[in-house]
């Protein structure tokens, strides 16, 4: 690929297939499509059939702890899907929807890269089909309804100072991390509140595990908005707001069908971040893909300690299935970073030997804790030295792990054939071990464990911590959970993506550190407790030079600078 080519310019040169042809590839009839232009469609629900179809095999793509630039996990996911299709497998890729916060912030476009992209790229990155806007609107509608309920002192009477339902926006804006509501005349009762990015909304966390519209409505009813003046929990169902929220989300529940550069079907649906939520696309999309395809390649956000752990421990038990194969994306620059290097371009054997511990830590967790046979995908970047890649592969082989040099950014499907073949071999080995009708679910934290025990198990088993410390606020929250009978819900860990620990500066494979829990929050509708570790925030800020500064549109409507 020539250096002057950008992801956007490559995508703009490709004429996508008709979305009806893409649907036909996946075996979907046209009457199930709700087209949004010629290249995007929502896939409508179908009545259950009496005889279930044979389900496909699920491949989970996760990663080592990344650098701030990202390691190309989506690119590898798309490229692997294209490579499996090239090998004659009926394949579907399932992904999350890009949030406009990161798109305009640090990352730019979030549809893959090079020859392994999802198109139409501009639509995907900018508003898409409006699902994230619908989540934003539903969340903020609930905020407005709650404030209105308080203003008119309706029953049950909410304590205005005990409302824990804040507002959201799909944009990075640090100035909204703390706000004062009701400060003006006739504006209600003043109180301190905040905004989170929409990806952190509980409604986003509800949309992704919901099985259908009725399940979505039931989950919305269970959202806890605060406490009454009598100190009882107040849920959406007791306020009868779930109907209105369901109306706002009535089309957002349908997954979105698009395609890769070479026409492989892609279902894009839902958008929770893995550092502050569970980081996986919707179960509706996964189930649809598994019903229609032989192989489904899905992606979990950030590293295997975040999105990967949550897919296996949180999502799999809800879904009733677990991956048949796992890929862990790695790059030379991330390995060097975790080995202490400051310059990722210069040769640095010492940094590779030290930094490989981070990658091995993720691979060992997947093998030893979850019983998977992970394959390490070394995602090649321009300037990578063959001898350094060879050293990484040698170290992985010595540790007993398969690896593949993955060149899907530059070569597309052909650059992922070796990875696809090794994944197919791993899938067959895993299937023989556990049997297709008895798939093992994750067990990093045992279901039904008290919250504090589950937190300790994940921190010690997955992260490598020696112990867990709970702040006074976290201990108070634990006591409240126990008092209300909510202390055995599953947990969703919220922490930095840049380290196994809660400290982004603690690189490599740290051991015997103290993992600090700052606070806990119940997501009643999603059905889990969010555990905040360290200084993790739910509203990101923009960088000194955000990606937005390089974006523009021509008089003819051609977008530039999206990456």
3-class SS string, 80-134: HHHHHHHCCCCEEEEECCCCHHHHHCCCCCCCEECCEEEECHHHHHCCCCCHHHH
Q: Is the distance from CB of 530 to CB of 521 less than 8 angstroms?
A: yes
pLDDT score for 109? 66
CA angle 197, 202, 207 (to 5 degrees): 105
Residue 444 inside a domain? The answer is: no
State the DSSP code for 270.
-
Residue 100 inside a domain? The answer is: yes
CATH number of the structural domain spanning residue 323: 3.40.50.300
- Final residue in a domain of this structure, among 245, 270, 294: 245
In a shared domain, residues 427 and 347: yes
State the number of CA atoms in the 13 A half-sphere of 547 facing the CB. 19
Residue 285 inside a domain? The answer is: yes
In a shared domain, residues 337 and 288: yes
SS3 252: coil
Dist. CA 61–CA 297, nearest whole Å: 7
In a shared domain, residues 151 and 193: yes
Span 426-437, pLDDT tens digits? 998 776 665 433
pLDDT score for 440? 41
Residue 107 inside a domain? The answer is: yes
pLDDT score for 68? 87
Dist. CA 224–CA 467, nearest whole Å: 30
pLDDT score for 105? 85
The boundaries of the domain holding residue 523 are 451-533
In a shared domain, residues 320 and 228: no
Residue 442 inside a domain? The answer is: no
Span 501-538, pLDDT tens digits? 999 999 999 999 999 999 999 999 999 999 999 999 89
In a shared domain, residues 124 and 232: no
10 Å Cβ neighbour count for 117? Answer: 30
- Asked if omega into 125 is within 30° of 0 (cis), the reply is no
CATH number of the structural domain spanning residue 185: 3.30.1510.10
Rg, the chain, Cα only: 23
Q: Is the distance from CB of 267 to CB of 44 less than 8 angstroms?
A: no
Sign, CA torsion 463/469/474/479? positive
Question: What is the average pLDDT across 48-68?
Answer: 81
In a shared domain, residues 240 and 271: no
For the cut 50, the answer to whether the pLDDT of residue 493 exceeds it is yes
What CA–CA distances, in Å, run from 12 to 15, 117, 306, 330, 448?
A: 8, 11, 33, 28, 50
What CA–CA distances, in Å, run from 76 to 381, 382, 479?
A: 12, 15, 43
Locate tokens 């306020």: which residue?
A: 239
In a shared domain, residues 273 and 409: yes
Spell out the residues 6+ positions from residue 11 whose beta carbon is closer than 8 angstroms to its own.
111, 117, 119, 120, 121, 122, 261
In a shared domain, residues 381 and 463: no
CATH number of the structural domain spanning residue 483: 3.10.410.10
- Among 497, 488, 501, 496, which Cα is nearest to 529's? 488
Question: What is the average pLDDT across 379-383?
Answer: 94
10 Å Cβ neighbour count for 4? Answer: 6
In a shared domain, residues 263 and 404: yes
Here the tokens at position 149 are 């309920």
CA angle 351, 352, 356 (to 5 degrees): 120
- β-partners of residue 298 are 60, 94
- Final residue in a domain of this structure, among 245, 266, 286: 245
Question: What is the average pLDDT across 18-27?
Answer: 96
10 Å Cβ neighbour count for 198? Answer: 27
| Total count of domains within the chain | 3
- Final residue in a domain of this structure, among 204, 225, 245: 245
Residue 348 inside a domain? The answer is: yes
How far does the chain reach from its first CA to its final CA, in angstroms? Answer: 15
Residue 39 inside a domain? The answer is: yes
Span 132-148, pLDDT tens digits? 999 999 999 999 999 99
What CA–CA distances, in Å, run from 1 to 327, 408, 415?
A: 25, 11, 12
In a shared domain, residues 261 and 393: yes
Residue 559 inside a domain? The answer is: no
Span 194-216, pLDDT tens digits? 999 999 999 999 999 999 999 99
- Asked if omega into 395 is within 30° of 0 (cis), the reply is no
In a shared domain, residues 100 and 209: no
Low-confidence winner among 261-270, 352-361, 447-456 (lowest mean pLDDT): 447-456
Q: In what order do the strands lie in the sheet with 158-163?
A: 158-163, 224-228, 233-235
Q: Which residues are catalytic?
A: 73, 75, 96, 107, 274, 302, 381, 409
In a shared domain, residues 224 and 280: no
State the DSSP code for 18.
P
Q: How confident is the model at residue 4 (pLDDT cuts 50, 70, 90)?
A: low
Spell out the residues 6+ positions from residue 477 whose beta carbon is closer than 8 angstroms to its own.
519, 520, 521
Span 80-97, pLDDT tens digits? 999 999 999 999 999 999
């Amino acid at each position: 690929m020539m250096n002057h080519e950008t992801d956007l310019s490559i995508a703009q040169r490709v004429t996508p297939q008709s979305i009806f042809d893409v649907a036909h590839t996946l075996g979907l009839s046209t009457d199930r499509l709700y087209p949004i232009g010629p290249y995007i469609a929502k896939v409508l629900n179908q009545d259950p059939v009496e005889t279930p179809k044979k389900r496909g095999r699920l491949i989970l793509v996760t990663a080592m702890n990344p650098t701030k630039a990202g390691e190309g996990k989506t690119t590898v996911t798309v490229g692997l899907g294209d490579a499996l299709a090239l090998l004659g497998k009926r394949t579907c890729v399932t992904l999350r929807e890009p949030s406009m916060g990161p798109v305009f912030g640090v990352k730019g476009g979030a549809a893959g890269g090079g020859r392994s992209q999802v198109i139409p790229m501009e639509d995907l990155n900018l508003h898409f089909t409006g699902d994230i806007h619908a989540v934003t609107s539903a969340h903020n509608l609930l905020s407005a309804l709650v404030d209105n309920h308080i203003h008119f002192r309706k029953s049950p009477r909410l304590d205005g100072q005990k409302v824990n339902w804040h507002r959201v926006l799909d944009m990075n804006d640090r100035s909204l991390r703390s706000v004062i509501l009701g400060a003006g005349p006739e504006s209600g009762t003043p109180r301190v509140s905040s905004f989170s990015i929409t990806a952190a909304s509980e409604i986003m966390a509800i949309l992704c595990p919901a099985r259908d519209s009725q399940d979505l409505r039931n989950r919305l009813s269970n959202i806890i908005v605060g406490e009454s003046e009598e100190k009882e929990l107040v849920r959406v169902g007791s306020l009868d707001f779930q109907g209105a929220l369901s109306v706002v989300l009535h089309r957002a529940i349908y997954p979105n069908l698009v395609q890769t550069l070479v026409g492989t079907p892609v279902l894009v649906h839902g958008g929770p971040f893995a550092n502050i939520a569970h980081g996986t696309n919707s179960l509706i999309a996964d189930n649809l893909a598994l019903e229609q395809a032989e192989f489904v390649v899905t992606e979990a956000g950030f590293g295997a300690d975040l999105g990967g752990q949550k897919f296996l421990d949180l999502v799999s038990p809800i879904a009733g299935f677990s991956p048949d194969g796992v890929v862990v994306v790695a790059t030379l620059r991330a390995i060097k970073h975790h080995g202490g290097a400051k310059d990722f371009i210069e040769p640095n054997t010492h940094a590779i030997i030290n930094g490989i511990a981070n990658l091995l830590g993720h691979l060992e967790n997947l093998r030893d804790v979850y019983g998977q046979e992970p394959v390490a995908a070394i995602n090649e970047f321009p300037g990578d030295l063959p001898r350094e890649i060879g050293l990484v592969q040698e170290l992985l082989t010595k540790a007993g792990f398969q690896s593949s040099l993955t060149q899907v950014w530059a070569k597309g499907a052909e650059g992922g054939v070796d990875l696809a073949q090794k994944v197919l071999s791993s899938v067959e080995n895993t299937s023989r071990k556990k049997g297709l009708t008895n798939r093992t679910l994750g067990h990093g934290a045992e279901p039904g464990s008290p919250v504090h025990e589950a937190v300790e198990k994940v921190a010690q088993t997955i992260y490598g911590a020696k112990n867990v410390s709970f702040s006074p606020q976290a201990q108070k929250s634990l006591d409240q959970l126990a008092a209300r009978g909510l202390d055995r819900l599953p947990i969703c860990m919220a922490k930095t993506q840049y380290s196994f620990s809660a400290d982004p500066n603690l690189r490599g494979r740290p051991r015997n550190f103290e993992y600090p829990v700052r606070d806990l929050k119940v997501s009643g509708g999603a059905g889990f407790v969010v555990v905040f570790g360290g200084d993790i925030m739910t509203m990101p800020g923009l960088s000194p030079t955000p990606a937005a500064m390089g974006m523009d549109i021509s008089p003819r409507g051609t977008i530039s600078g999206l990456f």
